[in-house]
Amino acid sequence: MADLLIELFSEEIPARMQARAAQDLRARMTDGLVEAGLTYSGAVAHHTPRRLVLSVQGLLDQSPTLREERKGPRVDAPEKAVEGFLRGAGVERSQLQERDDKKGRVYFAVIEHPGRPAADIVAETLENVVRNFPWPKSMRWGSGSLKWVRPLHSILCILTADSGEAQVVPLDIDGITAGSTTYGHRFMAPDRFDVSSYDDYAAKLRRERVMLDAGERADHIWQEAQNIAFSQGLEVVEDKGLLAEVAGLVEWPVTLMGKIDEEFLDLPAEVLQTSMKEHQKFFSVRNVRNGDSAGRIVRFVTVANIETPDHGKTILAGNQKVLSARLADAKFFWENDLRIVREKGLEGMAQGLADVTFHRKLGSQADRVARIEALAREIAPHVGAKPDLAAEAARVAKADLQSEMVGEFPELQGVMGRYYADAAGHDDGVPEACEDHYKPLGPGDAVPSAPVSVAVALADKIDTLTGFWAIDEKPTGSKDPYALRRAALGVIRLVLGNELRLGLTELLTSASRQLHMQWSASAVVAVWYERVAPNKLEPRERSAGWDASLDAKYDAVVYKATTESGTPDLDGTDWAENLNNFFDRYVGPFPHAITVSRAVPDLLAFLHDRLKVHLRDEGIRHDVIDACLAMEGNDDLTLLVKRAEALSDFLKTDDGENLLQGFKRANNILAQAEEKDGVEYSFGADAKFAEVEEERALFAALKEADKAIKPAMEAEDFAAAMAAMAALRPAADAFFEAVQVNAENPVVRRNRLNLLGRIRGICLQVADLTSVEG
């Protein structure tokens, strides 16, 4: 047995790639070793900014000898056949054995594959792994052709025997010869040193100022940061992603706490935090929470990679200076943005959105805002919001995209919108909507519940979905560049989380209509520019040389186009006439109705698919969901889920079993008869044709059940309705016991089938039970 130690020492590996690379090194090396016959007892990988390290324990000293037997031709086979066999097996004729076989006497070749020393196998495997390493991006350097994430400088590769003796694995990859040495910390211990085992390596590295284990580095940073903060009565704002990243930027973490200049402390906490994190990779440190008020951010923690004689004083001073320059920028943005919204309002800030393309085919951000506004207004009454407020919120919710702050920190979109909406004097849930209309962002993100926020959030997502559906940019497989699955799940969670009763078909159609009206309008405007006013083409230069008469005509075109639901044919030679006619004409059939009629059901089906995934995660069976999807009103997701949950719960009870079995029995008989007769038995059962007591009893039971089912269905109390249906089971069972449904008398037979048809009809009111398995 031996232990294997590998260190691949390179220039700085990007922090985000290190952990994955260490895993890949472990998996690919151990897979390769095992495939070559070298088993082992354990393997651990580590990573630092400059090293990938693998330690394999309990590796076999050599791979086992393998014996292979191959059956050849009969001994009396033609010479050519025997020679071919010898070539194929790679053996001499003298090594062949003759044995008896079913077919007679045949040749056997016995081939021995001797075991190979571990060093050879390790060398071969490691070379293969290095040459084919799955870096997300790799590069060449100097004159070589080897690829690595950054220049690879040295390879340490040793096998340590139980005796403690270490052997360098003989390996040379494009001039990099494996050895038993490595280097310490770049600045504090740059000299080369020799190692004899993993333990020796880890111990010497620590002496040479390298903390090998990334987890230990992260723990150390977090512990130190908390201690420093705590000693001054402060606390560090937790950020696991940042912690992992910072641990990947240093080999010897030294944690330092610095001050934020007084003049920046009034910036919004999110701004301080984002600026410090994104630009400087600083942790935020805040005053300890006092009651309800969250503590203000007052300090930062930075992690250096070096211990200095002045205990980090120079480093901290430098970092503080850089931070002040950054925050001066942020403060400048903040004050500028505030000045603009106070002077011109958020609408003023939003003006520039007309020049920002949302998507080439879906117009500008301003076009999109106009669509969202119309839709939010329409949704408002369904969610308990005032339409005017919802429209106001939609109009300003994207304004902050034009702010300098969001230009600098895109991740602050929404957050800044809320601050600026407050500053501009918006109220009544509008500022909250500016922030919350992006939510929910993921499965774990909270769903907004304030009515105005809900209206805008829904409108935003429905517009996005409708738009990309209309231009046929649906998600396929793993590709979903516009995050449409997330938008769909957002719609679902907004509806369900707030128990909204909405007909989605209507909303999706409205959203499509908004889009198509804009398309019509922009087609008209394009032609207007091109053909009517070719010298006034640049909208941004409209002020220069644009006279009032043109303006009036232009506005007329746009007004008509956006308010009417017709569009002229502008492609042919008759465009001018068509344009004229267009002015004269009033409402005509919506020209894109075909597209809409295809896109809307398709999009609803997509939403249903996402809902299925969502409900499956909540433990509702696939067939149960299908049974409910088949019902009318399935674009009301709240009703749909209510139905599915009731059915799912009910099927788990004895009554559920009764309902299902009763229904299936009736349905099976009916289905056979209907197929044979070519008619549907669904109407006209009459108790007067009943011949036996059990039959009459079933009629009576049905009448009784109807009394309970009807009001229950009206109240959408599916559980009560299903309980009443299940209660039919004894009467139905007795009926089947006593009665031959397919009676001789055709009148009696038809009456009985129609009776079963009534049972089926009643049961199908709640869900399409034919889809339910069991």
Cβ atoms of 545 and 535 within 8 Å: the answer is yes
How crowded is residue 616: how many other Cβ atoms within 10 Å of its Cβ? 12
Shortest reach from residue 306's CB to another protein, in Å: 5
**Residue 228 in the binding site for another protein (CB under 8 A):** no
Task: Work out the angle at residue 287's Cα, subtended by the Cα atoms of residues 284 and 293, and round it to the nearest 5 degrees.
Answer: 110
Pairing of β 363-364 and β 96-101? unpaired
Show the binding pattern over residues 183-222: x = contacts another protein (CB under 8 A), - = does not: ----x-----------------------------------
What is d(CA 762, CA 703) in angstroms, rounded to the nearest whole number?
11
Q: Give the residue with the Cβ less far from another protein, 15 or 607.
A: 15
3-class SS at 680?
Answer: coil
What is d(CA 26, CA 21) in angstroms, rounded to the nearest whole number?
9
Cβ atoms of 228 and 250 within 8 Å: the answer is no
The binder of another protein chosen from 70, 116, 150, 621 (CB under 8 A)? 150
Shortest reach from residue 175's CB to another protein, in Å: 10
The binder of another protein chosen from 2, 4, 15, 257 (CB under 8 A)? 15
**Residue 522 in the binding site for another protein (CB under 8 A):** no
Question: Could you tell me which of 445, 440, 447, 459 has the C-alpha nearest to residue 398?
Answer: 459
Binding to another protein in span 49-68, by CB under 8 A: 49
The binder of another protein chosen from 236, 249, 301, 766 (CB under 8 A)? 249
Question: Could you tell me which of 446, 566, 595 has the C-alpha nearest to residue 508?
Answer: 595
Shortest reach from residue 358's CB to another protein, in Å: 11
What is d(CA 277, CA 293) in angstroms, rounded to the nearest whole number?
23
Secondary structure tally for the chain: helices H, strands E: 26, 18
The binder of another protein chosen from 280, 565, 653, 765 (CB under 8 A)? 280
**Residue 537 in the binding site for another protein (CB under 8 A):** no
Please give the span between the terminal C-alpha atoms of the chain, in angstroms, as a whole number: 57
Shortest reach from residue 537's CB to another protein, in Å: 12
**Residue 302 in the binding site for another protein (CB under 8 A):** yes
**Residue 80 in the binding site for another protein (CB under 8 A):** no
The binder of another protein chosen from 167, 181, 305, 771 (CB under 8 A)? 305
Q: Identify which range of 104-112, 132-140, 439-447, 467-475 contacts another protein by CB under 8 A.
A: 132-140
What is d(CA 712, CA 481) in angstroms, rounded to the nearest whole number?
45
What is d(CA 609, CA 601) in angstroms, rounded to the nearest whole number?
12
CA 698 to chain centre: 53
**Residue 323 in the binding site for another protein (CB under 8 A):** yes
Q: Give the residue with the Cβ less far from another protein, 197 or 255.
A: 255
The binder of another protein chosen from 34, 44, 81, 139 (CB under 8 A)? 139
What is d(CA 663, CA 210) in angstroms, rounded to the nearest whole number?
72
Q: Give the residue with the Cβ less far from another protein, 141 or 230.
A: 141
Q: Identify which range of 138-146, 390-398, 557-565, 744-752 contacts another protein by CB under 8 A.
A: 138-146
Q: Identify which range of 135-143, 470-478, 599-607, 675-683 contacts another protein by CB under 8 A.
A: 135-143
**Residue 591 in the binding site for another protein (CB under 8 A):** no
Size of interface with another protein, in residues (CB under 8 A) = 43
Q: Give the residue with the Cβ less far from another protein, 12 or 239.
A: 12
How crowded is residue 103: how many other Cβ atoms within 10 Å of its Cβ? 9
What is d(CA 276, CA 264) in angstroms, rounded to the nearest whole number?
12
**Residue 311 in the binding site for another protein (CB under 8 A):** no
Shortest reach from residue 419's CB to another protein, in Å: 24
Q: How would DSSP label each residue in 684-728?
A: ---GGG--SHHHHHHHHHHHHHHHHHHHHHHTT-HHHHHHHHHTT
Shortest reach from residue 72's CB to another protein, in Å: 51
Shortest reach from residue 325's CB to another protein, in Å: 7
**Residue 141 in the binding site for another protein (CB under 8 A):** yes
Binding to another protein in span 343-362, by CB under 8 A: 355-357, 360
What is d(CA 552, CA 572) in angstroms, rounded to the nearest whole number?
25
Question: Could you tell me which of 484, 429, 473 has the C-alpha nearest to residue 452?
Answer: 429
**Residue 275 in the binding site for another protein (CB under 8 A):** no
The binder of another protein chosen from 182, 273, 275, 319 (CB under 8 A)? 319
**Residue 703 in the binding site for another protein (CB under 8 A):** no
Q: How would DSSP label each residue in 10-74?
A: ESPPPHHHHHHHHHHHHHHHHHHHHHTT---SEEEEEEETTEEEEEEEEE-SBPPPEEEEEEEEE
Q: Give the residue with the Cβ less far from another protein, 322 or 523.
A: 322
The binder of another protein chosen from 203, 288, 317, 679 (CB under 8 A)? 317
**Residue 304 in the binding site for another protein (CB under 8 A):** yes
Task: Report the interface residues with another protein, using CB under 8 A.
Answer: 11-12, 14-16, 49, 137-144, 149-151, 153, 187, 249-250, 280, 302, 304-306, 308-310, 314-315, 317-319, 321-323, 325, 328, 355-357, 360
